[in-house]
Amino acid sequence: MQTVVLIPEPEWKQILGRLEKLETAEQHRASASDTAPDEVLPTEQAAAYIGLCAEALRRARRLGRIPGVRLNDKDWGFRRSALDAYPRRYHRPAA
């Protein structure tokens, strides 16, 4: 047995309008997140990108300040988004 709910027509149109807005917003959000995957830079390029020496970047990774991606047995890579977030979080402005 199914339950039937009667909704007045103005209220039904209002609900449909809200649903259309939600669907449009969801499509826009989905299309915005379909960007290319985050680029991974090797240690030397990543250090130059954020203005540090390679050893300082390696030290920051070892301390857990910046996440790294293992490229091979000897080298690490760093995602561009993590590099973009790093200076805002850990660097102190020059006095």
Specify if 5 maps to a domain: no
Look at residue 63 and tell me if it is in a domain: yes
Domain count, the chain: 1
Q: Is residue 50 situated within a structural domain? A: yes
Whether 29 maps to a domain, the answer reads no
Residue 83 CB burial class (10 angstroms; 0-12, 13-18, ≥19): buried
The pTM assigned to this predicted structure is 0.56
pLDDT at 29: 81
pLDDT per residue, tens digit, the chain (95 aa), is 899 989 999 999 999 999 999 999 988 887 766 555 689 999 999 999 988 899 999 999 999 999 999 999 889 999 998 998 887 666 565 55
Range of the domain at 76: 40-90
**Is the residue at 45 inside a domain?**
yes
d(CA 11, CA 22): 17
